[in-house]
Structure 1
Amino acid sequence: MRLKNTMLLLLCTNFLQAQSITWEYLSPLPEKVTNNAVTCVTLGDETYLYSFAGIDTTLECSGDHLRSYRYSLSTDNWEVLPDLPDPNGGKIATAASTIKDKVYVVGGYHLAPDCGEVSSNRIHVFDPLTNGYLADGANLPVAIDDQVQAVWRDSLLYVITGWSNTTNVSNVQVYNPSTDLWQQATPVGSSTVWRVFGGSGTIIGDTIYYAGGARSSGSFSATSFFRKGYINPENPYEITWEGYADPLALGYRMGAATFGDQALWIGGADDTYNFDAIAYNGSGIINPLDRIGVYDPMTGELSEILGFIPAIMDLRGVAELGNGQYLIAGGMLADQEVTNQLLKVTINDLTNATMPFAGDSELKYYPNPTREVVTFDFSKLPPTSFSWSLLDIQGRVLRTGQLSTPQFWKLSLDGLPNGGYWVKFQAPNGNGQVVGVQKN
């Protein structure tokens, strides 16, 4: 039986624009699982979703497994597949991609009885036509887990950065299924904002986009860095990389997808955690976000929509059905709850969904740069209440508060060192705007 929840967002003129996003629960997975690899394949008129490996509800070192499942969209039914054929045992943080009607399940890590982690160098090949596994592909040159993974032109598989046994790596490993060969492409930057695990991304046209992830230093803090890689179509192993800090790029184990020519990030968390959802920094349990992040190449801007899908995290893939429809299988809810839910999200239009809460011509702030105080002019906004957050350039929250129908508001940077900061405003229905300020 399907449970359905439809949310229509009828938003105020000049402040928030009309949009519609709907979601529904389909038949649940045969078991509760998280950190599982997810992809889909369309064969003729039938679309199948696949879930491979993951960790069970115990969230313990013995909870990783190789159990795999197939879901039929037309019948709304699941069936059990043979286990993922890895002789080294269960694994999590792997990723699955579809190329020319074959599924490639790459990397991941195995948990030892003492919770030690060993990265995998395997690529498993699943044939949807026979509903069984083929021989493994050639081993990855560098074992990897929690990588960014995306497909270029239905021909090459890009495995970008990720964790390899002891640290994050800058490698970009490219697999060609037609030759069963790996080749190293131009690596990402060597700094910790480039080399991450738990980041996610996609390829649109000839450009790679990836966001978020955890650094390899300290307590594996989350990054708020957005990266673009321009693939040379004449030599797809040649990539020109660029990136910049943006608080809306912050995220960990989000599901990445596309909507037309825009990149999406669904769910995830705003801080990093181990496989048991306990924060690496010792702050306790991490809970999921109900966020859809959007990058529009036409405007070059990141934006986000909050509150219009159920909160979900620990994702290692989103199945794209086309026509703005997406499936999310398993994952983790609040308070370490592993779920068997199959969530279908339908996005009808993002043309206006990503409008900021006030256009640049409406929201004025001065002086910028400032020595101490920035004044914000809200006089042209409709009366409303909203929250604000002050973040450093890395996206860490420094101060927060609430504002109720202000005309003018003064933000003090007193006591903070000189440098750049972000100010994030959030309306109750989820839309918001981020602006940069500079203290000299």
Structure 2
Amino acid sequence: MLLKKPRTIALRIFQSTVPRLSFVVAAFIIASAATVSVTAAPIVLPALPEPVSNNAVASVTIDDTQYVFSFMGLGKGKTHKDVHNRAWQLVINNKDKPLQWQALTPVPSSLALKGRLASIAVGVNDSIYIFGGYTVDENHNEISTPEVYKYAPVTGEYKLLTPMPVPVDDATALVYQDRYVYLISGWHNDGNVNLVQVYDTQTAQWQQASPFLGSPVFGQAGGIVNSTMVICDGVSVTPHSDKRRSFAPETACFKGEIDKENPFKIDWRTLDHPTGSARYRMAAAGDKDTSKIYFVGGSTNPYNYNGIGYNGEPSTADDAIWIFDIAEGTWVISKTEAEAPTMDHRGLINVNGSWYTVGGMLGAQLVTSKVIPHFSTLAEMSCLSKSQASSGVSKQGSDGQAVEVVKTASNSKCQHQNNINGEK
């Protein structure tokens, strides 16, 4: 298939200048910067008890205690035998004791095979909602499960909810108004769907929202801030007359605006792509504090669940971070602060202003148990506050192709801104 022609994104780096300030004001700024720098240091979170990839991850905060979860996924062997339904929980609070993952009751299922890949989980108020996924048998047959479970961290119990109207896996799940969960596109048994299925956590009912206007995809990523969502990339299906279907990266981003009067009406618009090169299974999330949506990792070579590309080539992880500023309507490209880039994700977790991936794959398709910090938004907000004293402003050119990025020399964080057989 023909991919969207890459658009050139020119990054012009400006060295900010700080006006002369009184000694008292200058001292205050230096002290504040030091405080932010210390606060922005990420918490070292322990590794999972076992390596896992393509796991559903989510987080919820209850009574000032944050809970981080990993549900199901793929073990280090990367075969159908390594697909499991095990679950883990990490409790993060202010108590002075070591952090440690705790084993949970495995995720239940009515299917013969209990383990699942490409499930998606989100936190809503005091509960975690787990959607779909697919099973893989020894003959590589795959089935998308319709089941939806609600997990209560306080009681440790799963509750089976109303099933999805159309079972999907490898979809994107976004939460609106701490009530509605939007399942966008994804794979259903034999192909992709363009559906936006909305689950109302208050009424336990499903409704269809305005369909996704891009090509139906699986393995895409997205985030939401208030009523604005952004969905990027994934994999589309290419039909052929003389051979079985094939899969191709879909280089496309879309912005959806949810109607404030009708949560099932979405105004979808095309959005300039940040790089012109699609990525598969990124970790992504929106951040209300910065009004930005972040995309981390993933691979430019779509792959089967074992990390080998549909083109037969081993896939590798990308180290870039894409940042979409909703207010400015601009993209900024940065790089992960992790020692190594990661891929094969189903979520991005915020812990005290630092953003983590939980498990996934490292280089050479190595399944990892690590919980990896990639960047800090507290450090970014410090840079943004400093840049207000500069003459430069972050904007997109009138032709939609140029982005100016303000950097300050006084903070190192600111300096950093810059399957072959047709199986799914």
Query: Which TM-score band (shorter chain)?
Result: 0.7 to 0.9
1:349/1:224 Cα in 2 relative to 1: closer, same or farther (>3 Å)? farther
1:76–1:238: structure 2 CA closer, same or farther, 3 Å change rule? same
Instruction: Classify 1:80/1:118 alpha carbon distance in 2 versus 1 (closer, same or farther; 3 Å).
Output: same
1:167-225: CA deviation from partner (whole Å, max 9, x where unpaired): 11000000011111100111012xxx531100111111111111111112253222221
Tell me if structure 2 keeps the 8 A contact 1:224–1:247. no
Out of 116, 119, 123, the position equivalent to 2:144 is 119
Match of 1:45 in 2: 64
1:311 counterpart = 2:328: no
1:171 is matched with 195
Unpaired stretches in structure 2, ≥5 consecutive residues: 1-11, 18-32, 239-244, 400-414, 419-424
Q: Aligned partner of 1:161: which letter?
A: S
> Residue 41 and residue 24 in structure 1: after superposition, are their counterparts in 2 closer, same or farther (change >3 A)?
closer
> CA 1:295–1:16 in 2, change beyond 3 Å: closer, same or farther?
farther
1:213 and 1:25 mapped to 2: Cα distance? Answer: 31
CA distance, structure 1, for counterparts of residue 199 and residue 110 of structure 2: 22
After TM superposition, give the deviation of residue 13 of structure 1 in Å.
Answer: 7.3
Alignment of 1:17-416 (within 5 A): 23=42, 25-74=44-93, 75-88=98-111, 89-134=114-159, 136-189=160-213, 193-217=214-238, 219-248=246-275, 250-259=278-287, 260-282=290-312, 284-309=313-338, 310-321=340-351, 323-345=352-374, 346-350=376-380
**CA separation of 1:247 and 1:47: change in aligned 2, threshold 3 A:** closer
Q: In structure 2, what residue type is equivalent to 1:166?
A: D
Residue 313 to residue 22, structure 1, CA distance change in 2 (3 Å): farther
Q: 1:324 offset after TM fit, Å?
A: 2.2
Q: Does the CA-based 8 Å contact 1:291-1:308 persist in structure 2? A: no
Residues 311/297 of structure 1: CA separation in 2 closer, same or farther (3 Å cut): same
DSSP 3-state at the match of 2:81: helix
Corresponding residue for residue 5 of structure 1:
none
Aligned to 1:403: none
**More strand per residue:** 1
Contact 2:60–2:125 (8 Å) recurs in 1:
no
Q: Does the aligned pair in 1 maintain the 2:59–2:69 contact within 8 Å?
A: yes
Kept after mapping to 2: 8 A contact 1:219/1:281 = no
Using the TM superposition, give the Cα deviation of residue 268 of structure 1 relative to its aligned residue in structure 2, in angstroms.
Answer: 1.2
2-side partners of 1:334 and 1:25: how far apart? 21
**Alpha-carbon distance in 2 for matches of 1:108, 1:308:** 30
Report the CA distance between 1:266 and its aligned residue.
1.4
CA–CA distance in 2 between the matches of 1:22 and 1:91?
Answer: 35
- Report which stretch shifted further, 306-315 or 341-350: 341-350
Cα distance change of structure 1 residues 156 and 72 upon mapping to structure 2, 3 Å threshold: same
Deviation at 1:431, TM superposition (A): 5.6
The runs of 4+ residues in structure 1 deviating greater than 6 Å are 16-21
Structure with higher RCO (Cα < 8 A, 6+ apart): 2
Once the 2 structures are TM-superposed, how far is the Cα of residue 325 of structure 1 from its aligned partner?
2.2
More helix per residue: 1 or 2?
Answer: 2
CA contact (8 A) 1:224 1:245 kept: no
- SS class of match (1:221): strand
SS at 1:215 equivalent: strand
Query: 2: distance between equivalents of 1:200 and 1:13?
Result: 28
**How much does 1:15 deviate?**
5.6
Q: Return the alpha-carbon distance in structure 1 between the equivalents of residues 271 and 13 of structure 2.
A: 32
CA distance in 2, matches of 1:324, 1:22: 9
Structure 2 vs 1, CA of residues 13 and 176 (structure 1 numbering), >3 Å: closer, same or farther? closer
SS at 1:91 equivalent: coil
Q: Contact conserved, 2:116 with 2:136, CA < 8 A, in 1?
A: yes
Residue range with higher mean Cα deviation, 294-303 or 168-177: 294-303
1:148-185 per-residue CA deviation (whole Å, 9 max, x = no partner) reads 11000101000000011111100000001111110011
SS at 1:348 equivalent: helix
Structure 2 CA distance for partners of 1:66 and 1:343, relative to 1, 3 Å:
same
Sequence identity percentage: 32
Distance 1:304 1:220 in 2: 27
Count of residues paired in the alignment: 349
Match of 1:216, SS state, is: strand
